[in-house]
A and B are shown apart, each in its own frame.
Chain A
Amino acid sequence: RKEVEQDPGPFNVPEGATVAFNCTYSNSASQSFFWYRQDCRKEPKLLMSVYSSGNEDGRFTAQLNRASQYISLLIRDSKLSDSATYLCVVNGWNSGNTPLVFGKGTRLSVIA
């Protein structure tokens, strides 16, 4: 079983739509969780950390379910500029300074 699994998409949605991405991870000892965004031919950039209580940043909401080893990202009121690949990322099963493990990413295209 892969360590971090995501639906690869692509998700093609109209502007203004709400879209949700899901991710599962295999190592129950994982401690830190993130969503990264990667634009075409660019490096990944941190979108948001994911906290146990869930957290929101503007139009973006992240949820973590440790019991199910499941992470989600909800994007409301999608913009054309949200088009990118969204990477589910996990680390920390030994200590806080372990490398990141990336999912393969979910591609989102927001269409006018």
Chain B
Amino acid sequence: SAVISQKPSRDICQRGTSLTIQCQVDSQVTMMFWYRQQPGQSLTLIATANQGSEATYESGFVIDKFPISRPNLTFSTLTVSNMSPEDSSIYLCSAEGDRGPTVSGYTFGSGTRLTVV
């Protein structure tokens, strides 16, 4: 399966600051996604990171708060801007599996555990 390196693995940030999370895939992938998982909850899709165009955001998530870059087919970043304690969560990137999404679903990075104080 595709291997995704995600960093940082965790961070503690002051409110009002921003944090950029990076994901590097070891092969070219068409689709990359960003998810959020709040404590005790399942994964919620934030946006689809599109290469060469603006990300596609889900309801409740906006570009000003969660700007995303996708400069090429192996890399994406998610920034959590102007953070508040409500942004404390685990953020995960994902990319299609090596046998295509309908067979092997998607692979995930190891996650970034963010705490905003």
- Interface set of A (CB-CB < 8 Å, partner B): 31-32, 34, 36, 41-46, 49, 87, 89, 91-92, 96-97, 99-105
Bound-state CA distance A87–B105 (Å) is 13
B104 pairs with A49, CB closer than 8 A: yes
In the complex, which residues of chain B have a beta carbon less than 8 angstroms from the beta carbon of A42? 110-111
In the complex, which residues of chain B have a beta carbon less than 8 angstroms from the beta carbon of A101? 45
In the complex, which residues of chain B have a beta carbon less than 8 angstroms from the beta carbon of A34? 105
Bound-state CA distance A97–B109 (Å) is 18
In the complex, which residues of chain A have a beta carbon less than 8 angstroms from the beta carbon of B106? 46, 100
Max count, chain A CB within 10 A of own CB: residue among B1, B105, B107: B105
A45 pairs with B42, CB closer than 8 A: no
Interface size class of B (residues with CB under 8 A): 20 to 34
A96 pairs with B101, CB closer than 8 A: yes
Taking CB atoms and an 8 Å cut-off, the chain B residues in 81-117 that contact chain A are 92, 94, 96-97, 100-111, 113
Q: Tell me whether B33 is interfacial, beta carbon within 8 Å.
A: yes
In the complex, which residues of chain A have a beta carbon less than 8 angstroms from the beta carbon of B33? 99-100
Partner of A46, one of B97, B110, B111: B97
In the complex, which residues of chain B have a beta carbon less than 8 angstroms from the beta carbon of A92? 101-102
A44-B103 in contact given A104-B42, A105-B42 (Cβ < 8 Å): no
Contacts A/B (CB < 8 Å), 12 sampled: A32-B101, A34-B105, A42-B111, A44-B43, A46-B105, A46-B106, A49-B104, A87-B42, A96-B102, A97-B30, A99-B45, A101-B45
